Structure 1
Amino acid sequence: MAQQQADATAQTAPPVVEQAVGEQAAVDERPARSQREIRLVMVGLVITMLLAMLDNLIVGTAMPTIVGDLGGADHLSWVVTSYTLATAAATPIWGKLGDLYGRKGTFLTSIVIFLVGSALSGLAQTMNEMIAFRALQGLGAGGLMVGVMSIMGALVSPRERGKYQGMFAAVMALATVGGPLLGGFITDHFSWHWIFYINLPLGAVALAAVTITLHLPKVRSTARIDYAGAALLTTGITSLVLITTWGGTQYAWGSKHIIGLAVLAAAALIGFCYVEQRAEEPMLPLKLFRNRDFSMVSIIGFIVGFSMFGAVAFLPQYQQIVQGASATNSGLLLMPMMFGMLVVSLVVGQTVTRTGKYRIFPIIGTTLMGGGSLLLSTLGTDTTRFTSACYMAALGAGMGFLMQITMLVAQNSVELKDMGVASSTATLFRTIGGSFGVALFGAIYTHQITATLTARLGAQAAAAGGDSNQITPTKLKGMKAPVQDAFHHAVSNGIHSVFLWGAGITVIAIVASLFLRGAPLRGAGQPAESSLESAAI
């Protein structure tokens, strides 16, 4: 009882002092800020979010040109993998460093590292240089999204956060649709080097805006950095990302390389759990998962990443090959899904701000996401574009109920001193979910493509048809009618299996959403509940 009274006093007291790690007497509170101050900070945060979201989407469009200039097509996958690995491994570390040493300083540092990596990537002369510089860029990128979300958590109470997080959903939708188009435009009319250089002026504006407008209390730490935990977590995450990147493509799922990585990942993560239970200031406090809401939204976030990245990766295949859409407009093909996600996210954010209640939204979102996946599994060779657009809008609406709510609930479940860790953990689960989704769906999709082509054309004829992943509408037009028909059915069957599996996996998220307690969102001036006392199971 005494501790609860102390917490309440700390939340309502005028002075603003962030808790010094390792000291019990420090105050842990969120300062009151004017709407104008928050909006000014939002400028830098939104631009930074745009940088983080746009990068991979722009680069993906330019990769054929980059490989043509630099050579080394056999190392193409590593340009993406090096960035993804560095981002995933750095994400939880940036979150913890922000909690230990101050969010503003670590956030600015991550932006600078990202911009240095961008400039060097634009100057790369060989594929090896490109891979190395992309890894450096990814190291900084790991702190961008975490920094944005944790700073938002430090500035705005959970109750008020919904109306601001709608802007981030808009940025995500804009980046997903505009990224591929912008990458193609820059590559065609300027040079692929500029897809990296364009980050520099945007990053400079973000740096200036955050430096000038963001004022957070300084943090002094007496705790030691958990180097062992960081090393083990990085090893485990790296192994998992490599498994999802290489499995079924570069190496067979049952190969010694994939099995070895799985053993290494399991050993590293088990060792990580052991170390974290004994660390003075753990890199990722396992006690957070004793909070039922935090654990459930981590599972939901994983499934959201799983479904979203799977949809983005495979829906354009169907639209281009089966429905004959132009590859140039592939980004626009996802507009119904992104529009549904954006509109719902904005409405949900405003509703949460007005009512302070959110529990029903994850339930609706996971159910709608599963229903949208089930509808998309019915796509066939004769499905109209309007029908498929409606199905995509349903899936996007389901994601709109979840995209910001998962981060909001994760942050509401912890104390302010753990805001960075909570933000990085939520981001990490979504990232790993996306990696697993693309890998699993890719294996299912490829299997169905091969099986259908073999059934319709025979083994030799199917092999002569070429790599289905490189079939374009233009190439299909030059093939005979039976071959075109076989490819149309093959892609349709692949999409059917991908989204049917997606609907089944979404059931896990539906169950997790039902177990959410729906703890009240803290408003300005309200005390933060202890992460253990508020939701211990």
Structure 2
Amino acid sequence: MSQTRIKRLSPIFTGLMASLLIYAMDSTIFSTAMKNIVSDLGGKAYYAWPFTSYLLCSTIAIPISGTISDLRGHKPVFLCGIALFLAGSSLCGLSGNMPELILFRALQGTGGGVIVAGVFTIIADLFPPAERGKYTGIVSSMYDLANLIGPVTGGFLSDRFGWRWIFYLNLPIGVFAFIALFFTLPDDRQIIKQKTDLSGMIVLALILFPVLTSLSLAGTVLPWNSPWIVGMAVFAFLMLLIFILLQHRVKSPIFPSEYFTDRRINMALALSFFNQMSLIGAVVYLPYFEQNILKMSATGSGLVLAPMMVSLVLAANIVGRLISRTNQYRIWSLIGFCLIGFSMWRFSVMDKSTGYSVLILNAVLMGWGVGMNMPVGNVNAQNSVSKCRIGSVTSAVTLFRNIGTATGSAFFGTVLTARNVIGWEISGVSRVFQVGIAVALLGILSSSFLRDAKLPES
């Protein structure tokens, strides 16, 4: 890449990374301050709903914003996403009670969904297919930076200045990103006569809302076989059938049928789902093991997660560059899931005598495996479609990652607490990691069927 082009793209790239950072850091920084928030605002019974409302709205916004941006321009939609996120952050900081916070978190989540879908779409706009892997890997490192600095930053701001400052922190970073992208990002707005698939968007929301709500409640607030959970599942399935029928009848569908018939795309969606499930299992239950079995402090368990995140960043960057050089995807995903499965097995056999060095080694292997998969799903899917569908397919990959997070949280939580499941006596965190091996095997299967995308001309 020429020096002139590097100088031209630097402010754009910085703006994209800054916007993704505030999105990625939100969940980690928010969770550390939640205890102080509840003490101040009350509403302990609604403890989970600020998380749930954010996840619901961000996940629903991802595919909808991707489709709209393909029709109306990636830049204006992305800037609207930043503006919504900042507006939501400001209002969250001004919340006077828990219902207000839940509502404003929903607004913030809507903007966050637009941001996370738009970042990788714009990367695909800026760079030719041969370079997308490299820069997708670099930008993805913002997730891991957020995991490293988010909890510390959230705790510090909440204890020193009050919990409202965890939201106000987004404002200077977000305003910088907005201004940088407003003046430097090329305007790709196109005049397209096709109408936005409004009916498809409404039905998609009616699918995702009950699915994500039931995953948030099942196994904790309500049992999996409760009438409410079963009812939401049946309703979501009926809406899915309607959605499929609608998508066949519109000229600009949210999810074209080839997304689910083309193995370059559908397997990219599947491996992204299983990779995210694996990550949430490690991030949540490795500290659980350390604190409850090894009796480590929260700080000590965090120091084990840090090397895992560092290895994840390195793996994502290295594999992203290798993809750009070799145009091979499947091999890296296969190796990544093999490492995940091996790490899950290593986690499952740990006990009270496990040493600190063994913990770190296992965590590093896990991070490396997850990181290897990070660029694969996005880049393989993006290089499998025409430029007019970059936003849509990128949003689809991101959507499946989000659903993987929600599914992993609910499923592993149930595994941890359930008993007598198909004859098993499940009572320990080691069972979570044993089930994690099965998730990794499903990832290996998905990767085996993945078809490498041929490098397009542009």
State the Cα distance separating 1:202 from its structure 2 match. Answer: 0.4
Matches within 5 A, 1:415-454: 415-447=386-418
User: Per the alignment, do residues 449 and 168 of structure 1 end up closer, same or farther by CA in structure 2, a change over 3 Å counting?
Assistant: farther
Q: Confirm or deny that 1:296 pairs with 2:230.
A: no
State the Cα distance separating 1:449 from its structure 2 match. Answer: 12
Alignment correspondent of 2:161: 190
State the Cα distance separating 1:391 from its structure 2 match. Answer: 1.0
Q: Confirm or deny that 1:86 pairs with 2:86.
A: no
The answer as to whether partners of 1:357 and 1:521 remain within 8 angstroms in 2 is no
What amino acid sits opposite 1:445 in the alignment?
L
Q: Secondary structure at the match of 2:428?
A: helix
Taking the aligned partners of 2:176 and 2:392, their CA distance within structure 1 comes to: 27
Taking the aligned partners of 1:328 and 1:449, their CA distance within structure 2 comes to: 34
The superposition leaves residues 141-176 of structure 1 with CA deviations (integer Å, 9 ceiling, x where unpaired) of 110111101001111122112222232232111111
The answer as to whether partners of 1:87 and 1:140 remain within 8 angstroms in 2 is yes
Q: Secondary structure at the match of 1:402?
A: helix
Matches within 5 A, 1:369-380: 369-380=340-351
Q: Secondary structure at the match of 1:401?
A: helix
Alignment correspondent of 2:205: 234
User: Per the alignment, do residues 331 and 210 of structure 1 end up closer, same or farther by CA in structure 2, a change over 3 Å counting?
Assistant: farther
Alignment correspondent of 1:127: 98
Same amino acid, percent of matched pairs: 37
Q: Confirm or deny that 1:309 pairs with 2:304.
A: no
Alignment correspondent of 2:453: 519
User: Mean Cα displacement is larger for which, 92-101 or 277-286?
Assistant: 277-286
RMSD (Å) for aligned C-alpha atoms: 1.7
Q: Confirm or deny that 1:100 pairs with 2:71.
A: yes
Taking the aligned partners of 1:519 and 1:100, their CA distance within structure 2 comes to: 24
State the Cα distance separating 1:325 from its structure 2 match. Answer: 2.2
Taking the aligned partners of 1:331 and 1:193, their CA distance within structure 2 comes to: 24
State the Cα distance separating 1:329 from its structure 2 match. Answer: 5.1
Q: Confirm or deny that 1:494 pairs with 2:428.
A: yes
Q: Confirm or deny that 1:267 pairs with 2:217.
A: no
- Number of residue pairs aligned between Structure 1 and Structure 2: 452
Alignment correspondent of 1:141: 112
State the Cα distance separating 1:357 from its structure 2 match. Answer: 2.6
The answer as to whether partners of 1:176 and 1:331 remain within 8 angstroms in 2 is no
What amino acid sits opposite 1:510 in the alignment?
I
Taking the aligned partners of 2:159 and 2:391, their CA distance within structure 1 comes to: 40
User: Per the alignment, do residues 39 and 151 of structure 1 end up closer, same or farther by CA in structure 2, a change over 3 Å counting?
Assistant: same
Task: Normalising by structure 1, report the TM-score.
Answer: 0.82
- The one of 134, 140, 149 equivalent to 1:169 is 140
Taking the aligned partners of 1:179 and 1:447, their CA distance within structure 2 comes to: 31
Matches within 5 A, 1:374-413: 374-413=345-384
The superposition leaves residues 197-231 of structure 1 with CA deviations (integer Å, 9 ceiling, x where unpaired) of 00000000000111111113321121112111111
Alignment correspondent of 2:42: 71
Taking the aligned partners of 1:499 and 1:39, their CA distance within structure 2 comes to: 41
Taking the aligned partners of 2:285 and 2:58, their CA distance within structure 1 comes to: 23
The superposition leaves residues 404-433 of structure 1 with CA deviations (integer Å, 9 ceiling, x where unpaired) of 111111111111100011111000001101
Q: Confirm or deny that 1:323 pairs with 2:307.
A: no
The answer as to whether partners of 1:181 and 1:328 remain within 8 angstroms in 2 is no
Highest CA radius of gyration, 1 or 2?
Answer: 1
State the Cα distance separating 1:448 from its structure 2 match. Answer: 6.1
State the Cα distance separating 1:349 from its structure 2 match. Answer: 1.7
The superposition leaves residues 464-519 of structure 1 with CA deviations (integer Å, 9 ceiling, x where unpaired) of xxxxxxxxxxxxxxxxxxxxxxxxxx9xx622111110111221111111112223
Q: Confirm or deny that 1:507 pairs with 2:441.
A: yes
Q: Confirm or deny that 1:151 pairs with 2:85.
A: no
The superposition leaves residues 225-282 of structure 1 with CA deviations (integer Å, 9 ceiling, x where unpaired) of 2111111111111111011100011111111110111011111111111110111211
User: Mean Cα displacement is larger for which, 422-431 or 158-167?
Assistant: 158-167
Task: Normalising by structure 2, report the TM-score.
Answer: 0.95
The superposition leaves residues 322-378 of structure 1 with CA deviations (integer Å, 9 ceiling, x where unpaired) of 222222454433112212211111211222222333331111111111111111111
Unaligned runs of 5+ in 1: 1-32, 456-489, 528-537
Taking the aligned partners of 1:359 and 1:433, their CA distance within structure 2 comes to: 20
Runs of 4 or more off by more than 4 Å in structure 1?
none
Q: Secondary structure at the match of 1:357?
A: coil
Taking the aligned partners of 1:92 and 1:293, their CA distance within structure 2 comes to: 19
The answer as to whether partners of 1:293 and 1:516 remain within 8 angstroms in 2 is yes
